[in-house]
Amino acid sequence: MAMLTLENIAVSYDQQFILKDFNLSVEKGSLISLLGPSGCGKTTTLRLIAGFLEAKEGKFALNGKDYTRVPVNKRNFGFVFQSYALFPHLSVYDNVAFGLRLRKVNKSDVDRRVRRMLDIVNLNGFEQRYPKELSGGQRQRVAIARALVIEPDLLLFDEPLSNLDANLRVNMRVEIRRIQQELGITTVYVSHDQEECFSISDQVAIMNKGIIEQLDKPSTIFKFPKIRIRGAFHRLQQFYLLR
Ligand SMILES: Nc1ncnc2c1ncn2[C@@H]1O[C@H](COP(=O)(O)OP(=O)(O)OP(=O)(O)O)[C@@H](O)[C@H]1O
Ligand SMILES: [Mg+2]
């Protein structure tokens, strides 16, 4: 059963349509990535799902519930954005606890859930550190823990790894996929790094100019591409031969 559906969505800035007749459906517990060139509408799609943008037309539903007019603060979604800075004046523990305290979760539950999440992202022992005392990858893991701790109904990532160096990017994407599968959270992941998208996704949506040109499993897109994916084939071939 599709868990997340966007039906005939239209979004425009001023008079210009960025998404038009946009349709997407994502299975429960799966990770879909949106892959496409700069300006094709990836962030716009995420902002719409998050509730930061309103659709001019169309419908967005999650688990059968219509979310089209639900305000952002009533959506229990987790976000990890490229520039989603941690609170610099709060410790790692307090950064992760923030969303729970906002939701008035009692103190002992906050403690249990924060510690479990820090365990999942391998940051035990870092509770009292401040963001400036962490490496880039550790900060990113705090951001992921902060997004996950509220047990979101949906997880949204917008280029979460683009500030990290190449090695760390590979480690972190493995980690994101592990956590996502462990917790079974439906996830929409945006990147313009094709290797990243193909390696962590159940499905990839190839976007161009506000439309989805192909939506398939990575292996299907590799074998039967509807469009030419620039420069990707050699590396993808190696990836699938190694699997
Ligand atoms: N607030 C805004 N006002 C007007 N136009 C906007 C606004 N935000 C985005 N756009 C335009 O909408 C289009 C889609 O932008 P979007 O941010 O969704 O692209 P993207 O696929 O995320 O690109 P990138 O890979 O560069 O992040 C672009 O042409 C952009 O210029
Ligand atoms: Mg973007």
Q: Distance (Å, rounded) from C-alpha 160 to C-alpha 216? A: 22
Ligand 1 neighbourhood includes 39 CB (under 6 angstroms): yes
Q: Which residues share a beta bridge with 61?
A: 5, 66
Contact 150, 141 (CB under 8 A): no
Structure-derived torsion over alpha carbons of residues 70, 73, 74, 79, reported in degrees to the nearest 10: 90
The CA distance from 50 to 96, in Å, is 20
Average pLDDT across each block of 10 residues of the chain; the chain has 243 residues. List them in order: 88 90 94 93 94 93 93 90 84 96 95 93 94 90 90 92 80 86 93 89 94 92 73 53 47
- How is residue 138 annotated by DSSP? H
Tell me, using a 6 A CB cutoff, whether residue 140 lines ligand 1.
Answer: no
pTM above 0.85, yes or no: yes
Question: Best substitution site from 9, 11, 12, 13 to test ligand 1's pocket, by max atoms within 8 Å of Cβ?
Answer: 13
Phi, psi of 241 (to 5 degrees): -70, -30
Q: What one-letter code names the amino acid at 88?
A: P
Query: CATH for 1-29+36-74+193-243, among 3.30.750.24, 3.40.718.10, 3.40.50.300, 3.50.50.60?
Result: 3.40.50.300
Look at residue 231 in the predicted model and tell me its pLDDT.
Answer: 53
Q: Which of ligand 1's atoms lies nearest the C-alpha of 41?
A: 18
Minimal-distance CA residue to ligand 1 atom 30: 39
Q: How far is CA 212 from CA 107, 215, 238, in A?
A: 45, 7, 26
Give 87-125 pLDDT, tens digit per residue.
999 999 999 999 999 999 999 999 999 999 998 888 999
Cα–Cα distances in Å, from 192 out to 35, 96, 167, 197? 5, 28, 17, 8
Q: Which residues surround ligand 2, an ion (CB under 5 A)?
A: 43
Q: Output b/e per residue, 100-111; b: 16+ Cβ within 10 A.
A: beeeebeeeebe
* CA–centroid distance, residue 210 to ligand 1 (Å): 10
Q: What are the CA-CA distances from residue 137 to residues 6, 133, 165, 168, 193 (Å)?
A: 32, 12, 9, 6, 18
Ligand 1 centre to CA of 154 (Å) is 22
Which residue has the CA at smallest separation from atom 7 of ligand 1? Answer: 13
Half-sphere exposure of 128 (CA within 13 A, CB side): 1
Is the CB of 17 inside a 6 Å radius of any atom of ligand 1? no
Contact yes or no for 66/58 (Cβ under 8 A) = no
Query: What is the residue with the minimal CA distance to atom 10 of ligand 1?
Result: 13
